[in-house]
Structure 1
Amino acid sequence: MRAQDLSGQPATMVVTGGFDPLRSEGKAYADRLMHAGVPVTYREFEGQIHLFVCVTRVISQGDICIDEMTKFLKEQFISA
């Protein structure tokens, strides 16, 4: 995240929650990657906390997020 030049990085998915204390940093990183020409998928889950994907028994959006991340990774592996 702190590298001066982010060009040449692989396609990246950045996920944050609306109440994630690192939301601003995640969005800024996604923006920097995009400006460096890196394919970026940014997804913010409104109303969610940091690490909401770890409590899928309580927060159903965690399952949705995991499904989206799995789809993203499959697409990257297929195109590699």
Structure 2
Amino acid sequence: MYGLWFIGFIVLLLLGWFVYDKRYQSKETAHSNKPSHGFVWTAEVFIDPKDGLTYRVYYNPRSGDRAYIRENE
């Protein structure tokens, strides 16, 4: 009985890791070096601790969305 709960918990953890761990990426910006139309440049730049790469933040004032674009080294 407890083994079934444990297996369910492990399945949820794996789904969370593979499906929902899409930090700093959206459909439009996951593989591009330029944000889509409507995004404006911000001065915010950070180094992602997960991959060690530098990202610049772009902001869409109309929708409030933020796009994280990898900076060229």
TM-score range (shorter-chain normalised) is: under 0.3
- Give the alignment's TM-score, normalised by structure 1: 0.21
Largest Rg, 1 or 2: 2
Greater helix fraction, Structure 1 or Structure 2: 1
- Give the alignment's TM-score, normalised by structure 2: 0.22
Greater strand fraction, Structure 1 or Structure 2: 2
